Amino acid sequence: MVGYTVLANRFRPRSFGEVVGQPDVARVLHSAIRDGRAGHAFLFSGPRGVGKTSMARILAKAFNCHEAEAGDPCGECNVCQAIDGSGDCLDVVEIDGASHNKVENVRDLIENLRFRPVESRYRIYIVDEVHMLSTAAFNALLKTLEEPPDHAKFILATTEPLKVPETIRSRCQMFDFRRLTAEVITDRLAHICTIDEVEVPAGLLERVARHANGGMRDALTLLDQLITFGEGTPVVEDFERLTGRLPPELLEAIVRSALVGRVDEIVRAAGDALGRGARPADLVAQLTELVESVLVTCAGGEAADRTPEEQVLLGKLATESSVDHMLAMLDVLVEASERLRRRHDGRLVVEMSLITLARLKHLQPVADLLAGEPEQSPQPARAPSGGRGQRSASRPTSAPSPPSGSTPPKAQKKMEADAWGQPQPSQQVPSKQPADSKASPAKPADFRSRFLEALPSRSLRLELTRYDGISVSDGCLVMSMPADGPSPLHDPSSDSALRDQLAEVASGVEGRKLSFRLLGAEKQQARPPARPGTPPAGEIGKSIEEQWPGAERVDF
Ligand SMILES: [Zn+2]
């Protein structure tokens, strides 16, 4: 049985004409060779897997081929064969800069340069990851680059051109390799699948291409794996398992739930995503990608690397949102990915962030607040601020009236505002004050406002606006259970770092050491989630004390 050659090697371009996705570099190098204008040192820079090494080999063949015509290597002569085959050509030396980064390695190389080439015109050195060379090694190389022998050519390649000293760069002809578009990669993959008679489900190659993020080699490697896993026929499930990619429908559902402010749906979708084995960071990264594309579409642009069908979907999502809403969502997601780097309990971060996303819908624009719009505005809340396609008209204009009865007016108001899944009256952090604290001119800024204001991050502030009961009592920061459902803070599995952080912020606000106390936490698990959009009338009528008998009532 013949040994299997991976696709990335088998379909490596072997001439300037075969190069995919770097037309400018190929054209300039080709004409430089053809017209005899090629220099003696080249620096290829660009992300990994976009064709730098392939291009270096093609260039080496073009320099040394015995039968080259008009700058094109023949691909047939012994030199071309040696470079293409095993890379084992006496006059073309490939060096990995990462593992040969010492000054001695460069000295050996220079020493060898004294000998003339064995079978071709030039001795050619291809140095990969050249930025990894030590300073001394660069200095040694510099001397040779300044006055190279006529028979020497250097092709340096790097993913980080700025780490290559300016003195080296200035002596090279520089070529910048770009990431390939998903379309170019998809076309190439489809071409290869046709040649190899591999059947691929619709849409899978596009997803592979986008996951490769502009790198052809990564795309080919992934396709290779999928063909192996599927025993000749790649399947979507393997792709999702190997890459942590989520189905587009699921991501779309999460964004839609956020757009219409459905906390319950978004929590369920997040559970579904994590249940499929996606890491919290994968989920946040893919949501960020989608929201970014919607943002670009909202702003009148066209999201990069999306198929026509996806563009249609993005267009729909864009008409249901606005630039400001998308910016606010991105803000939350970017912060979530920051936090994920620092914390172990990724699930907590994801849930807090997604709940925050769903609540953005209900926030009142700061501009309206500053303009003095009434706190409990009868108009429907808008997303952070206007934009095209606001769906404000579809929102009910007020929460349903609770049954009249024995409910204390203050508790009743809270329940009305925070009922599960109900659109809430417009509110933004500083505005959500109990009416009585506003009425008292003696307390211009109460503890809750100052505490929320002092929180270090915006999304944390948004999340904590759900907690009406935030006060100081007996040397403790006391927070009571929010009325509108599950709270990550009440999750017993969450670690105590967040609670400690909150106590610290509160201590700073009060100017004295406070510890943290949570009320109603023990009821968190027992409480069945209410159905969205249909707050049980009985619950609305209940006072907070009735709902959490163990909870201590805290007035502020
Ligand atoms: Zn040749």
Q: Label each residue of 61-124 as H, E or C.
A: HHHHCCCCECCECCCCCHHHHHHHHCCCECCEEEEECCCCCCHHHHHHHHHHCCCCCCCCCCEE
| CA 72 to ligand 1 center in whole angstroms | 9
145 Cα–ligand 1 center, Å? 27
CA dihedral (289, 265, 268, 418) positive or negative: positive
**Ligand 1 mean position, distance from CA 76 (Å):** 5
Ligand 1 midpoint to CA 190 (Å): 29
Q: What is the dihedral of CA 415, 416, 421, 426, to 10 degrees?
A: -120
Residue that has been written with the tokens 């379909």 in this structure: 11
Going by the DSSP 8-state scheme, the letter that residue 398 receives in this structure is: S
**Ranges of the chain whose pLDDT falls below 70:** 1-2, 86-88, 364-444, 459, 482-496, 520-556
**H or E element, residue 516:** strand 515-519
Residues 86 and 273: their CA atoms lie apart, in Å, by 44
Give distance in angstroms: CA of 153 to centre of ligand 1: 17
Question: How far away, in angstroms, is 67 Cα from ligand 1 center?
Answer: 5
How far apart are the CA of 91 and the centre of ligand 1, in A? 14
Q: What is the dihedral of CA 543, 396, 372, 374, to 10 degrees?
A: -40
Distance of CA 46 from the midpoint of ligand 1 (Å): 27
Give 353 Cα–ligand 1 centroid separation in angstroms: 59
How far does residue 65's CA lie from ligand 1's centre (Å)?
Answer: 4
Q: What is the maximum span of the chain, computed from C-alpha positions, in angstroms?
A: 101
For residues 545 and 464, the answer to whether their CB atoms sit within 8 Å is no
Name beta bridge partners: 128: 96
Q: What per-residue confidence (pLDDT) applies to 511? A: 83
Domains (range + CATH), the chain: 7-176 (3.40.50.300), 182-243 (1.10.8.60), 248-360 (1.20.272.10), 414-433+443-556 (no CATH)
Q: How far is the CA of 47 from the centre of ligand 1 (A)?
A: 29
Distance CA 335, CA 349 (A): 10
314 neighbors 460 (Cβ within 8 angstroms): no
Question: Which residue matches tokens 């409910």?
Answer: 407
- How far, CA to CA in Å, does 475 sit from each of 124, 214, 499, 503, 551? 75, 56, 15, 10, 18
- Centroid of ligand 1 to alpha carbon of 136 (angstroms): 36
Q: Please give the distance, rounded to the nearest whole angstrom, from the Cα atom of residue 355 to the centre of ligand 1.
A: 63
Give the model's pLDDT for residue 506. 86
Distance 51 CA to ligand 1 centre (A): 20
If you measure from the C-alpha of residue 155 to the centroid of ligand 1, how many angstroms do you get, rounded to a whole number? 19
The alpha carbon of 64 and the centre of ligand 1 are apart by a number of angstroms equal to: 7
Contact of 282 with 347, CB cutoff 8 Å: no
The half-sphere exposure of 353 on its side-chain side, counting CA atoms within 13 A, is 29
154 alpha carbon – ligand 1 mean position (Å): 19
Q: CA-based Rg of the chain, rounded to a whole angstrom?
A: 31
Q: How far is the CA of 77 from the centre of ligand 1 (A)?
A: 4
What the block records as the tokens of 363 is 């926030």
Query: DSSP state, 387?
Result: -
Between β-strands 476-480 and 470-473, what pairing exists: parallel, antiparallel or unpaired? antiparallel
User: What is the separation of C-alpha 68 from the centre of its chain, rounded to a whole number of angstroms?
Assistant: 46
**Ligand 1 centroid to residue 13 C-alpha, Å:** 15
The amino acid at residue 165 is P
Alpha carbon of 119 to ligand 1 centroid (Å): 12
- Locus of tokens 């006496």: 90
Structure tokens at 71: 């700058």
pLDDT at 372: 59
pTM for the predicted model, two decimal places:
0.63
pLDDT for position 51: 94
Question: 214: phi > 0 → left, psi -120 to 50 → alpha, else beta; which?
Answer: left
